[in-house]
Amino acid sequence: MKQKHKKNEFESDFENSELDALNEEIDDLKKLSKAERKMLRAAKRKGVDRSTLDPYDQSDKAEFKRYAKKHKATVAIVSITIALLLAIIGTVVAILIIRQQGKPSSANYEVTVGDDKPYTLSYKEANSYGQFYFDLCSIAKYSDLVVSGSERRVKFTCPDGTYVRFVNDSATATVNGDAVKVGGKVKIIPSTEKEEGKCLVPFKFIEKLFSHKADGNSVGMVAKVSSKNKVTIHRISYSNGSQPPISFASECFDYADDMQISSYPNPNIDARTASAICVSKLYLVNKSNPMREEEITTNGLVSLKSLNCPTVDGLEDYDSKDFFDPTAALALIAMINEANKTLEGGDKILVSSAYRSFSYQEGLHEKYIDNYMDEHDVSEEEAREQTLLTSAPAGKSEHHSGLCVDLVESRAAQRELDETFEDTEAFAWLSQNAHKYGFILRYPKDKTDITKYSYEPWHYRFVGVYAATIIYEDNITLEEYLADFE
Ligand SMILES: [Zn+2]
């Protein structure tokens, strides 16, 4: 009953009018929004003298409303900022998780080769382009591989002669002559006085390299990387203790698309065939490697004119001079058409010479000797010697192969093949782009000691996109390219 007594006391202390005013004030307080009440509490926390703010005073009420509005805006900005930050953090975390998947943790690797003591391979060194790389040089000895090559190209040869060859920065390798996909760019680190050279290759490629099977048995080696960052590489031993030899087979790999360039009109050919075709074109015809007369034939060649290839007038009428290798012809036409789009004033690149028969080259060479004798008033012997620098005797001209062409510009007043071709727009374009179509400048200016031919800016040879790109990028000749690996 104590409470009731209190109430009575309370009621008795107030006049009715005062009670009405109080009720009104309570109603006003109720009308304060949640935000206004929050502001009131915030004012209290900040030590603002709340007693100076009178929620029943009209001007103070307006003040409360301003606070409330500001508060709402602040809350909205803070909320949006937090939401954005969370979204960004979430995205970053998601990306990191996705990138981390399938990748070993960032601890170093413990590598065991055969029965040797394990060694540590740093995570940093072993991880490039988001995958695990392994130095094939480090196991060459253990796997009986002979290492050869240069600073940019390394070849590993098995005892049975099968081989794999890598080019620095290239995602294409060659296994027994076939261009195959590596699955990542190879990194070749040349050796220094302090450290041995390295050939860092995606581990998945190395696994495949050694997983070649013969008669249902794995040949040679097993290479594995476990989730605990342990790498083991060991030779296979048969139950009788003998070890099968190491051998490589290109069939284990995806073939590189050697012919797949945008304007290459050869949709019906698969990468395996393309690669094999291009490899079959990689041979030398020069003064040291002549073709026999009976090998020099138009069999298997096609007429460039019949394929609408731009040629000089009448080329097709003369001793099969417009004949060309059918694969190389497709690349040649694509290349010339592309170049001609860019030449100013409607100028055009034309083929002035393609295939040459034995008898044609014989006649041509003798004519050059006669001309030289007439012009320089020298003995036939000396004329013969001098002519050899610019012309090949029958059998020794690359033109016999049906794989090379001499090119001229249509607007040139005379179409003699001379070094002025170097100053043409056509030459500028070919210098930058011919390799993309599988062609190389066969007799460069600074390589005459290797090619044994004078500089010929007009003479281009088809070798396939893969070889042409290496020859172009390394600034080497076909002689050097082939010598490196044969
Ligand atoms: Zn030529």
Cα 8 to ligand 1 centre (Å): 124
**Banded model confidence at residue 322, pLDDT cuts 50, 70, 90:** very high
Cα 275 to ligand 1 centre (Å): 25
Cα 313 to ligand 1 centre (Å): 18
Cα 306 to ligand 1 centre (Å): 21
The pLDDT, as a whole number, for residue 265 is 44
pLDDT at residue 259 is higher than 70: no
Cα 405 to ligand 1 centre (Å): 6
pLDDT tens per residue across span 354-389: 999 999 999 999 999 999 999 999 999 999 999 988
Cα 132 to ligand 1 centre (Å): 47
H or E, element range at 75: helix 58-100
CA 195 to chain centre: 28
Pairing of strands 163-167, 153-157: antiparallel
Cα 382 to ligand 1 centre (Å): 23
* 63 vs 163 pLDDT, higher one: 163
Cα 265 to ligand 1 centre (Å): 25
Cα 486 to ligand 1 centre (Å): 25
Cα 396 to ligand 1 centre (Å): 12
Cα 390 to ligand 1 centre (Å): 10
Cα 352 to ligand 1 centre (Å): 9
Would 109-235 and 257-356+397-483 be classified into the same CATH topology? Answer: no
Cα 443 to ligand 1 centre (Å): 9
**Is 401 within 8 Å of 318 (Cβ atoms)?**
no
**Banded model confidence at residue 10, pLDDT cuts 50, 70, 90:** very low
The pLDDT, as a whole number, for residue 400 is 95
Cα 286 to ligand 1 centre (Å): 12
**Banded model confidence at residue 278, pLDDT cuts 50, 70, 90:** confident
Cα 399 to ligand 1 centre (Å): 6
The pLDDT, as a whole number, for residue 9 is 46
The pLDDT, as a whole number, for residue 178 is 81
The pLDDT, as a whole number, for residue 128 is 76
- Give the residue-averaged pLDDT of 460-480: 90
Question: In whole angstroms, what is the distance from residue 431 CA to residue 425 CA?
Answer: 10
Q: Of 65-74, 79-88, 158-167, 290-299, which range is least confident?
A: 65-74
pLDDT at residue 261 is higher than 70: no
The pLDDT, as a whole number, for residue 6 is 47
- Give the residue-averaged pLDDT of 156-181: 88
**Banded model confidence at residue 223, pLDDT cuts 50, 70, 90:** confident
Cα 404 to ligand 1 centre (Å): 7
- Give the residue-averaged pLDDT of 160-173: 88
Is the whole model's pTM more than 0.75, yes or no? no
**How many C-beta atoms lie closer than 10 Å to residue 222's C-beta?**
13
The pLDDT, as a whole number, for residue 382 is 93
pLDDT at residue 353 is higher than 60: yes
pLDDT at residue 140 is higher than 70: yes
User: What does 379-416 look like in DSSP terms, one character per residue?
Assistant: -HHHHHHHHTTT---TT--GGGGT-EEEEEETT-SS--
Q: b/e map of 8-26 (b: 16 or more CB within 10 Å)?
A: eeeeeeeeeeeeeeeeeee
pLDDT at residue 218 is higher than 70: no
pLDDT at residue 395 is higher than 60: yes
Cα 277 to ligand 1 centre (Å): 22
Q: Of 196-210, 403-417, 422-436, which range is least confident?
A: 403-417
The pLDDT, as a whole number, for residue 389 is 83
Cα 242 to ligand 1 centre (Å): 55
CATH of domain 109-235: 3.30.457.10
Q: Of 31-45, 104-118, 162-176, 296-310, which range is least confident?
A: 31-45
**Banded model confidence at residue 445, pLDDT cuts 50, 70, 90:** very high
The pLDDT, as a whole number, for residue 363 is 93
Q: Of 65-74, 236-245, 331-340, 433-442, which range is least confident?
A: 65-74
Kindly state the percentage of the chain with pLDDT values over 90.
31
Cα 296 to ligand 1 centre (Å): 16
Q: Write the class of the CATH domain 257-356+397-483.
A: alpha beta
Cα 354 to ligand 1 centre (Å): 8
- Give the residue-averaged pLDDT of 307-319: 86
The pLDDT, as a whole number, for residue 48 is 59
Q: Within 13 Å, how many C-alpha atoms sit on residue 352's CB side?
A: 17
pLDDT at residue 159 is higher than 80: yes
- The average confidence (pLDDT) of the chain is 81
The pLDDT, as a whole number, for residue 67 is 66
Q: List the domain boundaries for the chain.
A: 56-103, 109-235, 257-356+397-483
Q: Which residues, chain by chain, have CB under 5 Å from ion ligand 1?
A: 406, 459
Cα 413 to ligand 1 centre (Å): 20
Tokens (6 digits) for 11: 């009621």
Cα 453 to ligand 1 centre (Å): 10
Cα 358 to ligand 1 centre (Å): 14
The pLDDT, as a whole number, for residue 345 is 79
